[in-house]
Amino acid sequence: MIIKSMGISFLFSLSTSCSSINADTDQSSLLKAKEGGGTILANTKNSELQLGNTIANSNALVALKSVINKNDAGFRVINVLHIGDSHIKSGLYSEPFMQKLNNYYGQKRKGKLFFNFQWFCKIGTKYSDYNELAELDIQLVKSNPNLVIISLGTNDAFSGSSHSNFYAKIDHLVQKIHDLAPHAAILITTPPDGLKNTGGYFEALPEMANVVNTITRYCSDKNIACWNLHQIMGGTYAINAWYLQKLAAPDRVHYSAKGYAKFAQWLFDAFVKAMN
């Protein structure tokens, strides 16, 4: 289990592991990715799409918007808890987002508004894993967040967890946050694109579309703010373009530091737009 606050890491007893990328992998085989079937969007050429880079249901963030835009002489700290999987483990996603917010609002509010980020993650986690994790319960109470960002779903798609009651699994985690951090706004992001290696060929995960569609449907039903990263980056097979531009890892699941920095920039752009 990893919790990070402003770049400081606190390690808990739960072990974490992450498979390494083999540097000797045949690069030619990594390019054998089949073209998309059009289930969402096939894209192998452009990593700059930003299709509809907005936060849906942004009215759910109105209380947070009021705090951020409050004009008074006092100093305010906005506590943010980012919950996720290996995509946020190293801080390459959360930390640039925090820095951009502090640079922007530090100037806009003349140094009187500060975003304090913590990222809470365990490699390989699914929505259901966090539903039963006592460490998350403790962190939700201790951190007293103004905003909780949930970035999960990749492992639900890969493991098949989304086959059964996935809508309810999302709701269980959201209700936990409501119960333990009742004043926190919630922003859910859909997972980025990822492909499955099938003997040297990379194919779309059928369950990824289900994960993305269920998350967006849940957020619409419950009026939860939602940032559809999967759609914004180009949809199914978009990761091919990211890999060719060295923005994604050879495993076609994870991303490079520059790739995660691009996610952070896009989320920052959408967040500021919603707050303004």
Per-residue pLDDT, 48: 55
Is residue 219 within 8 A of residue 210, CB to CB? The reply is: no
Mean pLDDT of the chain: 84
Sequential DSSP letters for 53-84: ---BTGGGGHHHHHHHT--SSS-EEEEEEEEE
**What pLDDT is stored for residue 21 in this prediction?**
23
Q: Which residues of the chain have pLDDT under 50?
A: 1-45
DSSP state of 248: B
**140: exposed, middle or buried (C-beta count within 10 Å: 0-12, 13-18, 19+)?**
buried
- Return the pLDDT at 132: 85
Single-letter code of the amino acid located at 214: T
Taking CA atoms, 192 is separated from 23, 106, 263, in Å, by 24, 29, 9
pLDDT at residue number 52: 87
List alpha helices for the chain, DSSP H: 27-30, 62-68, 94-108, 127-131, 134-143, 154-159, 166-180, 206-222, 229-232, 239-244, 257-275
For position 250, what pLDDT does the model report? 95
For the chain, the distance separating the N- and C-terminal CA atoms, rounded to the nearest angstrom, is: 35
CATH classification number, 51-70+77-190+206-230+266-275, choose in 3.60.150.10, 3.40.640.10, 3.40.1360.10, 3.40.50.1110? 3.40.50.1110
Domain ranges of the chain: 51-70+77-190+206-230+266-275
Nearest to 130, CA basis, from 109, 95, 155, 108: 155
- Residue 212's SS3 state is helix
